[in-house]
Every structure is written in C-alpha cells, then in structure tokens.
Amino acid sequence: MKLHEYRSKQLFSQHGIPIPRGRVAMTAREAKLIAQELGGRVVIKAQVLVGGRGKAGGIRLVDSPEEAEEVATHVLGMQVKGLPVRRILVDEAATIKSEIYLSVTNDRNKQCPVIIASAEGGVDIEEVARTKPEKIVRVHVDPLLGMRQYQARQLAASIELSRECWQEFGNIVWGLYQTFVDTDATLAEINPLVISENNRLLAIDGKMIIDDNALFRRPELAEMRDLEEEKPAEREARRFGLSFVKLDGNIGCMVNGAGLAMATMDVIKLFGGEPANFLDIGGGAGADKVAAAFNLILKDEGVRAVLINIFGGITRCDEVARGILAALKEVEGTLPMVVRLVGTNEDQGRHMLRNANMVVATSLGDAAQKAIQLSTEGQST
C-alpha cells in the first residue's frame, strides 16, 4: 500500500526527521490561508500516488498567497497520469544548496534491509542507477541487530557529505530506519533530502510503501489507504479476496492461482491476443468467488471474450463446473466464454459445461486460440 507524500512526511517527522512546515489543502482558499501563515513563498504539491508529478506540472513554486490560490485552483483541477488531484500539500519553500537521495528498502537477494544513499538526489534514482551506478552506495542491515550508528557514518563518508552535516545526517538515517521498521514498510524514501545554504538538512519529498501483509497489526496505517486512488475494479476485487489487475486487452481471464494466471495471459499473447486482466480467484473456486470474478470481468467494456482456466487439483473439476454454472445465474450480461478445466474429474466437469453451451477447450493453447477467435468475431458483428 502506497502512502501519500504528506502522510509519509508526517511519519518521518514523528521519527525526528526535519520536514518543511506545511499543511494539506483540499481547496484553493485553504491553500491561500496556509501560504499566508507560512509567509507567502510556498510550494504547491499535488498529492497523487504516481510518479512524474513534477513533469506533469503538479509541483509549483509560488511567491505570494494570491499566487498560491491561483495555482492551487489549477493544480486541484488537473489530472496526473489519469488520477484527479484531490489534495495538495502547501509547504514552505526551502533554500537548496544540494540534494541527497536516501532510502531504506528490502534487499531480496541478501534477504535483509538495505539503506541506499546517493549524492545525486532530486532525480529519478533508477536513472542514476543506470547512468552513474558508482554514485549509489548501499549498506545492509542485520535484521536481528537493527541499524548501527556507524553505518550512517559509512554512508555519509561514501557520498562525501561535508563533516559538519554528519551528526544531523546520522539522526535522519536512524529516524528513517526506525520509520521503516515501525511501519512494516517495504520502502521508506526521502528524495530529495536537501542541504540548505546554512548546511541544515530537510526532507522535502517522501514516499512510503507499506507491506500489505502487515496491515493487520498496523490498523492506524491501514486507515490511510486512499480508496479514491484505486481503480474501482481493483477495490472491488480486494473486497472479495480476489487478486485483480486491469490491463488493456479484450480477453477477460479468470484463473485459479497467480502463476497460472500469469501463464494464461502469456499464452494469450503468444497466440496474438491481448489479455484484459490478471485475475486470480485463489486455490479453490467457490460459486461466490466465481460470481464476483465474472462481475468484475463483465464490467470491463473492452472485454470481447472470456477465458476461464481452472486447474482442479484439490478441488474437483465437477465441483468447479457446478460453481461456474451457479455463478453464471447470478451474473447479468453475457459474453462468449471459453472454459478449460483440467485435473480431477475433468471429463465430468467439461460435459456439464458443454451442456450449458460453453466452448470447452482441453489445452491452454487451444483455449487461448478459441478465445482470440471469439473476441475478433465479436468485433466484426
């Protein structure tokens, strides 16, 4: 779960990391009042959960409360990569001498947290990793011991930070690591961490991702989920315990298991089709989940055909077929459907579906080709 910049910075601040004075506004009028409080020269920042806000014009420096109101009106009416801006952060403008990158994340290969720093802050860190990999330094942390103070000095020395900033930098690295641990984050990032003219450090932008699997013990963070930023279908899927990702194609997919769901998409593509979604209904395939899945797929107006691919391992294929038929009664609307059922009692399951006028396939390749054919037939009529 991604957190907004203002939420991330609040969490940083609670862990002793200096952030600019500022507040969130939902209207241009509020933005003007906040700018007045802060002395006029402020930065207006769109709060959306996608990158590239700056390039889209969602981050603007203004010199007066009046200008703040004018710019806020504009920013609050805009969209960044399709997401409407509902909130803006109004922050006191900082003086910037140089910019640092600092983050804590999980190193999957070394299986421990890693603290990453670079003197090349304020730009896309992946770009730095590609073009100047020597400018990025990493320190790994023993998850049982936690971060040690010397590790911050290692980072400071490696990015050639001036010595008078070491103390403050050390406190910030410490605070960021504690934020990472206390929130069960998978990413806690400050970019940039600016050094001002008088050598003070300030976290002017922040980003956090919280581990969804840990939200059960972080209820205060779970409440921060911004439901408005999610696609309605993905929100709906989560409610039913389905795993769903919307794509741009026209063949809806319903599969049990994440790996098989990905493989199904891949095979559709292999035969020249385009999958409309990733959808994992989980290990079994109860009628209620199948019905919810059908509804999700049918709501997508771009879908021309549906491919159902179920491997009946523990769950028998005749049970799955019964579930599909029961679910179809609950669903409004109809589309050409190809079903591939494999595993225990597959013949019985297929027979039941064939009697219900569904196109039945035996192999995945066969199913994909049939679904592609049905999807193009739908277009020509």
Q: Does 37 bind other proteins (CB under 8 A)?
A: no
Q: Does 102 bind other proteins (CB under 8 A)?
A: no
Residue 368 phi/psi, 5° resolution?
-60, -45
Q: Does 365 bind other proteins (CB under 8 A)?
A: yes
Report angle CA 375, 377, 381 to the nearest 5 degrees. Answer: 120
Strands, DSSP E only, in the chain? 2-3, 22-25, 42-46, 59-62, 79-80, 83-84, 88-92, 98-107, 112-118, 136-140, 185-195, 201-203, 206-210, 243-246, 251-255, 277-280, 305-312, 337-343, 359-361
Look up tokens 């597959």; give the residue: 346
Look up tokens 């790996």; give the residue: 259
Among 136, 137, 181, 326, binds other proteins (CB under 8 A): 181
Smaller CB distance to other proteins: residue 35 or 279? 279
Q: Does 256 bind other proteins (CB under 8 A)?
A: yes
Site for other proteins in 193-212 (CB under 8 A): 211-212
**How many Cβ atoms sit within 10 Å of the Cβ of residue 127?**
10
Interhelix angle 5-14/166-182, nearest 10 degrees: 110
Q: Which residues of 249-284 are buried (b: 16+ CB within 10 A; e: fewer)?
A: bbbbbbbbbeeebeebbebbeebebebbbbbbbeeb
Least distance CB 166 / other proteins (angstroms) = 28
Determine which helix (DSSP H) or strand (DSSP E) holds 264, and give its type and residue range. helix 258-270
Q: Does 186 bind other proteins (CB under 8 A)?
A: yes
Query: Taking Cα atoms as reference points, which of 33, 169, 30 lies closest to residue 87?
Result: 30
Q: Does 189 bind other proteins (CB under 8 A)?
A: no
Q: Does 380 bind other proteins (CB under 8 A)?
A: no
Smaller CB distance to other proteins: residue 39 or 241? 241
- Quick check: 278 and 244 in contact, CB under 8 A? yes
Please confirm, yes or no, whether 150 is among the known catalytic residues.
no
Smaller CB distance to other proteins: residue 153 or 235? 235
Least distance CB 254 / other proteins (angstroms) = 13
Six token digits for residue 342: 């494999």
Query: Taking Cα atoms as reference points, which of 60, 62, 56 lies closest to residue 79?
Result: 56
Smaller CB distance to other proteins: residue 72 or 307? 307
- Choose one: 22-30, 253-261, 288-296, 372-380; the region binding other proteins (CB under 8 A): 253-261
Smaller CB distance to other proteins: residue 142 or 228? 142
Smaller CB distance to other proteins: residue 186 or 375? 186
- Quick check: 202 and 20 in contact, CB under 8 A? yes
Least distance CB 318 / other proteins (angstroms) = 15
Smaller CB distance to other proteins: residue 169 or 244? 244
Six token digits for residue 332: 């409004």
Least distance CB 241 / other proteins (angstroms) = 11
Query: Taking Cα atoms as reference points, which of 368, 143, 109 lies closest to residue 260?
Result: 368
Q: Does 267 bind other proteins (CB under 8 A)?
A: yes
Among 133, 219, 259, 333, binds other proteins (CB under 8 A): 259
- Quick check: 202 and 171 in contact, CB under 8 A? no
Smaller CB distance to other proteins: residue 99 or 280? 280
Q: Which residue of the set 30, 67, 101, 319 is catalytic? A: 101
- Quick check: 46 and 71 in contact, CB under 8 A? no
Site for other proteins in 107-166 (CB under 8 A): 108-109, 111-113, 125-126, 129-130, 142-144
Q: Which residue of the set 120, 189, 319, 346 is catalytic? A: 189
Least distance CB 216 / other proteins (angstroms) = 6
Among 40, 54, 302, 343, binds other proteins (CB under 8 A): 343
Least distance CB 211 / other proteins (angstroms) = 5
Q: Which residues of 56-73 are buried (b: 16+ CB within 10 A; e: fewer)?
A: bebbbebeebebbbbbbe
The residues that are catalytic are 101, 189
Chain contacts with other proteins (rule: CB under 8 A): 106, 108-109, 111-113, 125-126, 129-130, 142-144, 181, 184, 186, 211-214, 216-217, 243, 245, 247, 255-263, 265-270, 275, 278, 280, 283, 311, 313-314, 342-344, 363-365
